Structures are given as C-alpha cells and as structure tokens.
Amino acid sequence: MANVSVIGAQWGDEGKGKVVDWLASRADVVVRFQGGHNAGHTLVVGNQTYRLSLLPSGLVRGKLGVIGNGVVVDPEALLAEIARVRAQGLDVSPENLRLADNAILILPLHSAIDRAREAARGERKIGTTGRGIGPAYEDKVARRAIRVADLAEPETLSDKLDELLLHHNTLLAGLGAETFEKQALLDRLLELAPQILPYAEPVWERLDELRRAGRRILFEGAQAVMLDVDHGTYPYVTSSNTVAATAASGAGIGPSAVGFVLGIAKAYTTRVGSGPFPTELTDATGKLLGERGHEFGTVTGRPRRCGWFDATLVRQAVKVAGIQGLVLTKLDVLDGLPELKICTGYEIGGQVVHRLPASPRAQAAARPVYETVPGWSGSSRGARSWAELPAEAVKYVRRIEELVEAPVTLLSTSPERDDTILVRDPFEG
C-alpha cells in the first residue's frame, strides 16, 4: 500500500480539509509538514464543523496526528486550538498528537513585525495574515529561531531571546512599532513549556517505525502550489515550499515515502489576498460563485476572489509538484450556469503562452484565453457515482483532465464527507 501526499493545486482553499478527512479513514497517521496557523481546513462531520489550523485533520477520525518539523508553531495558537476542539468533544492528548521537537516556534514578536511591515508597504502589501509565519521562517534560515526542544532549557531560551530581540526590536523601532521586553517573553515561554513539551518528540523516529511496519501515512499540506515560495506567484506567496517534495523534508522521512501525490483543485478558481489572478471575475458571475461556494477564508474570514477554472495554472502545478491524480471539488457550485469558461492559456504582450511566467509584471499583464463549454441544467450536488451526474458535468470534468494532463481521482459534490465519487483509491498507489 502506498502513502499519500495531499497538496493544493491552485491558491489554497480548495477543500483539502474534506478530502484529507475522507482519506484519513483509510490512513493510520496524518502528518502536517509545512506552513503554520495561517491556513485552515474545515471539516464537516455530522452536525459538527471543525476548523483546524495546526492540528492534523486525522485527529477528527481518531488517527494519530503528527506536526512535522517543517511547520512553524505558535504555541499559544496550538493550545487554543486544542482547547477549542476538546470543547467540541474531540479527544486530543499526547497519546494521539505528536509534535516535532525541532519545529520552529512563532513568538509574539513575529506577529508584530509581520503586521508592521505589511502596514509599511501600504498599497504594495502582499496580503499576509499577520500571524508571524514569514518572520518565523526567516529566523529559521538565519539560524536564530527558538525550537520546541529549547523550551526544556531556560538558559538556551534566554540566550536565543537576546539574539532575537537584538534583531527584531531594531526593526520594530525603525517601523515605529512597540518593542518587546525579554523577561516578559521568557516568563511566558517557561509558563508554556510544561503544556507543550509532553507532545514533543523526534517524530522522524516514529514515522520511520510506522513506515517500516507498513502503516499508511497521509501527508497533509497547507496552502497550495501557486503559493509556494519558489514556484508560486512570487512575492504574493506564503513563506514555505508547499509542493509534495516538502513532505519528506518537513516530516523527516525519505523522499520515496511521500507516496501518491494528490492535488486538490476547485471546479472553478479562488484566491484570498493580493496577487495576480488572470481568471478573476468581478461581475455578477463572480459574486454568484462566491455566494454559492461560501467563499470566505477559514482562518482570516476574508472573502475569496472568484473566477473561472484556470487549466493552465493547474497544469503547471501538476508538472511542478509531480501531481499524479487530481481531486476536483465544489462541482455543484456550477450547477445551473448556462455556459462555463476554462482558461487554456494567457495573452501577454500580444503573444499566447501556456504557463504563468515568473515575472510579477508579466503575471499582472496576463489575460486569459478561454474555451467556452456548455453548462448543465440538472444537479450534481450529492452525486456519489458518475451515473448520477448530468452528462454535461461529466464532459466538463473530462475536458479538465485533458487540459491539465492529470486524471481526476476523486470528485467532491458537496461539503459532506460521503458525497464523493471515487475513481481510484490513492492508497492503492
């Protein structure tokens, strides 16, 4: 049996939560491998709706959850999330949640510098959530970050805070923002330590044991390929690599263990925050998609920008991230539209290209080249087999497969977990 890695194939918010929840019933362990609490997954289970940011989705299904070293962890946010889901009746303890002891911590100073820099950008802001994710990753590569294991060593914390504050207070003061006192930060970290450390361990050892024992591992990505810090619409991206290859480095497991790469895409396109969006619709159709799809960010609550399906963008994500199968979500949102459009390329400077270029100016100048296809009058909502779909809906899905050069492995037709059409079980490889 293969492991499975789930990543977004657009700009995030593609419905990964439902898909991971559905797959978690077939997995033994679910691993978060990058990002922070700037992304969220919404899971609808019966009459309960769980909104998760740091906790692996498999916890909802009683599976072991692992937060890998590639995740940047706000300890306050993690404990608050645990308390919130416990209040909903979910059992979370060190028995079913493990945290990499070499994961980086997000501190209040990271959020402060994040917000201050975004405010200083003015009209050029990049749309960060202001939760400190970027600055925490910066400290990681600058080799001055505080890691989970450091919580057990007060002297280490004290020394590292000296270096962090020398750097961040200088920046905060220059931006006209309030600076931080060392003792208050140190006291709070020491207060949090006994609440966080029981979850900590070298998770790479546990994952190696699970792999050798033939357990099914599900790797759960945050954001999406077009928000990847290398391969996305830079600089309007997140601060980590979101492609499936990161599952290996972000969990401490060999690249061969990443398994089947499953990319998630909506049957249309959405984006939260700033940045290029060639197929964006600012008309009544765009508003309709947003209303029908309940398009608001899980973490931020910000309305998502909506547009037609961009096959050029998803095809690029398929190739860059090695996506082997596609999950198409929210097909039912398109029910009743008389015609649909699919972007097959971009016109830039009088030429048609079939990739989104790296240049921000070229990205901003890209105008979609559309192929128009008929819509369908029947309902696809709740369909659990191809036979239950309107004929034109099937044709739409097949055309997407051709254009993105990847097969549709799963098809989601509502937020409900079981309203899913399985074409191929990813765990079968």
Q: Give the domain ranges of the chain.
A: 4-102+200-260, 104-196, 266-428
- Whether 126 has a pLDDT exceeding 90, the answer reads no
- Whether 115 has a pLDDT exceeding 80, the answer reads yes
| pLDDT band with cut points at 50, 70 and 90 for residue 118 | confident
- Cis amide bond preceding 235, omega within 30: yes
- Whether 175 has a pLDDT exceeding 80, the answer reads yes
Q: What is the pTM of this model?
A: 0.92
Structure tokens, 76: 């306050």
Helix (H) / strand (E) element for 64: namely strand 64-67
Cα-atom radius of gyration of the chain, to the nearest Å? Answer: 22
| pLDDT band with cut points at 50, 70 and 90 for residue 339 | very high
CA 70 to each of CA 96, 245, 297, 346: distance values in angstroms, whole numbers, following the listed order: 19, 12, 23, 34
Q: What pLDDT score does 381 carry?
A: 95
Q: Strands 217-220 and 200-201, how do they pair? A: unpaired
- Tell me what percent of the residues of the chain surpass a pLDDT of 70: 99
- Whether 68 has a pLDDT exceeding 70, the answer reads yes
Q: What pLDDT score does 298 carry?
A: 64
| Catalytic choice (21, 28, 37, 41) | 41
Q: What pLDDT score does 70 carry?
A: 97
Most confidently modeled range among 34-43, 45-54, 56-65, 258-267 = 258-267
The residue among 235, 273, 290, 276 whose CA lies nearest residue 131 is: 273
Mean pLDDT of 217-245: 94
| C-alpha torsion sign, points 315, 316, 319, 320 | negative
The domain 4-102+200-260 is classified under which CATH number: 3.90.320.10, 3.40.190.10, 1.10.10.10, 3.40.440.10? Answer: 3.40.440.10
Mean pLDDT computed over every residue of the chain: 93
Q: What pLDDT score does 15 carry?
A: 85
CA 273 to each of CA 12, 102, 233, 276: distance values in angstroms, whole numbers, following the listed order: 11, 30, 12, 10
| pLDDT band with cut points at 50, 70 and 90 for residue 61 | confident
- Whether 129 has a pLDDT exceeding 90, the answer reads no
- Whether 127 has a pLDDT exceeding 80, the answer reads no
| pLDDT band with cut points at 50, 70 and 90 for residue 300 | low
Q: What pLDDT score does 1 carry?
A: 58
**Annotation says 13 is catalytic:** yes
> Any idea how long the chain is?
429
The domain 104-196 is classified under which CATH number: 1.10.760.10, 3.40.640.10, 1.10.300.10, 1.10.3720.10? Answer: 1.10.300.10
| Catalytic choice (13, 101, 114, 310) | 13
Q: Is 129 helix (H, G, I), strand (E, B) or coil?
A: coil
**Annotation says 41 is catalytic:** yes
Mean pLDDT of 123-136: 82
The domain 266-428 is classified under which CATH number: 3.40.50.9100, 3.90.170.10, 3.40.50.1820, 3.40.718.10? Answer: 3.90.170.10
| pLDDT band with cut points at 50, 70 and 90 for residue 42 | confident
Mean pLDDT of 191-215: 97
- Whether 137 has a pLDDT exceeding 90, the answer reads yes
State how far the Cα of 142 lies from the Cα of 100, in Å rounded to an integer.
20
| pLDDT band with cut points at 50, 70 and 90 for residue 48 | confident
For tokens 């919580």, the residue is 151
For tokens 């499953």, the residue is 262
State how far the Cα of 49 lies from the Cα of 73, in Å rounded to an integer.
23
Mean pLDDT of 211-235: 94
Q: Which residues are CB-neighbours of 21 under 8 A, at least 6 positions away?
A: 43, 45, 57, 58, 60, 61, 417
Mean pLDDT of 389-413: 96
Q: What pLDDT score does 123 carry?
A: 75
109 touches 180 (CB < 8 A): yes
